[in-house]
Amino acid sequence: MKAPLFAVDFAARAVTVLDPETAHRATIKAMKSGLGPRVQFSDPRLRAHVAGLSFANPLGLAAGFDKNAEVPNPMLALGFGFVEVGAVTPRPQPGNPRPRVFRLREDGAVINRYGFNNDGLPAIARRLKARRRIGVVGANLGANKDSEDRIADYVEGVRALAGLVDFYTVNISSPNTPGLRALQDKSALVELMQQTQSARDEKAPSTPIFLKIAPDLEDEDKADIAAVSRELSIDGLIVSNTTIARPDSLRSAGAGEAGGLSGKPLFAPSTELLREFFIELRDCVPLVGVGGVASARDAYRKILAGAALVQLYTALVYEGPGLPLRILRELPEFLDADGFDAIEDAVGAAV
């Protein structure tokens, strides 16, 4: 019997007395055991259509929570319109030494330097193959830290997961794998996307490939990414990954830890970056907004800034698994207030 949602939220918050990584593993274990709630929610006004895929709603779980594709279906059952597993690398790797994730409670934020710890492509492919196919599930692809050919790692990910996921995300924006963000340079990015698209076309031609970018971009980098996105007809941009910046507003102990900062402090800069890319790409490349989403208002602001879909993760740490349902119930109120008949009508309306 499923636990009441309020009870699960309470238990999820109680687990934060554990260190962050232990708490995360405990949460995954609980979801695997069937202790998570099963949400029944549907509103046709929230349906979204992006890159040839149909979503029951635009709210997704960002990569990083379900690194090893252990609980995509239980997470969909929380109400998410889609779930992104990973990041997954061809070979298993342990990631960086612990401790490597830090709660910044006063800031509603987290710093992590996991370093693409995961069970590797073969194990994750087996789990995805064994799962009951429901909802929209994508895979976030990464490269092994010691890889001699990182582009080949992404190509291997596309081939290994063909037919097992509904979309791929090429993640070249994690700050925790040295040198990875160099793949955002124009010439490297063109080669990377051409090779992954070619592999996709051979194995699963209808599967979209999204590109996840960093928030810490210079104007030249933004122009290059926009140009490549247009030239290669990239299926979508995910804006954005965690940041290496440390705003002066941070108050929590541990704010100086190395790694990527996520949560509330990322909301404003990632939303501004989203708006900039929407201005550049509104007619050709759909956008997924991620960074600091912790409420329906946050999700709606991302949509108004140009996001066709929205993702969250860090807010679950503080708000518990009832958060997706709360957001979905409140989003139609924002549509009504602004006179929109459907969520798709609101995309980019504030730009």
Q: What is the mean pLDDT of residues 35-52?
A: 94
In the chain, the domains with their CATH numbers are 5-346 (3.20.20.70)
**In 3-state terms, what secondary structure has residue 85?**
strand
- Please give the Cα distance from 88 to 119 (Å, whole number): 8
CA-atom Rg of the chain in angstroms: 19
Q: What is the pLDDT of residue 10?
A: 46
Catalytic residue among 33, 42, 147, 174: 174
Kindly report, residue by residue over 131-185, the tens digit of the pLDDT.
Answer: 999 999 999 999 999 999 999 999 999 999 999 999 999 999 999 899 989 889 9
Kindly report, residue by residue over 243-284, the tens digit of the pLDDT.
Answer: 999 999 999 999 999 999 999 999 999 999 999 999 999 989
- Contact between residue 234 and residue 226 where contact means Cβ atoms under 8 Å apart: no
Q: What is the DSSP string of 252-288?
A: STTTT-SSEEEEHHHHHHHHHHHHHHHHHHTTT--EE
- Contact between residue 5 and residue 13 where contact means Cβ atoms under 8 Å apart: no
Kindly report, residue by residue over 44-74, the tens digit of the pLDDT.
Answer: 999 999 999 999 999 999 999 999 999 999 9
Query: How many Cα atoms occupy the beta-carbon half-sphere of 25 within 13 Å?
Result: 7
Check if 174 is active-site.
Answer: yes
